[in-house]
Amino acid sequence: MLKKMKNLVVQEEGQALTEYGLIIALVAVAIAATLTAFKGDLVAVFTKIKAQINP
């Protein structure tokens, strides 16, 4: 009985780790999509900053 309870805890920890991995992957995909969508705007902002720093 004790062994079955220990196995249950280990399985739940593995499941939680998998869920965290999926969440991290989803966040990474969302960040990549956002940066891709705003690529032109970001380039313009950094170009403007560069021009102000190095006239």
User: What is the spatial distance between Cα 42 and Cα 32, in angstroms, rounded to a whole number?
Assistant: 13
Average pLDDT of span 37-42: 94
pLDDT beyond 70 at 43: yes
pLDDT beyond 70 at 23: yes
Residue 42 CB contacts under 8 Å (≥ 6 apart), including other chains = 35
Q: What is the pTM of this model?
A: 0.58
Average pLDDT of span 27-31: 98
How does the average pLDDT of the chain come out, rounded? 86
Q: How many domains does the chain have?
A: 1
pLDDT beyond 80 at 11: no
pLDDT beyond 90 at 34: yes
Range of the domain at 13: 2-53
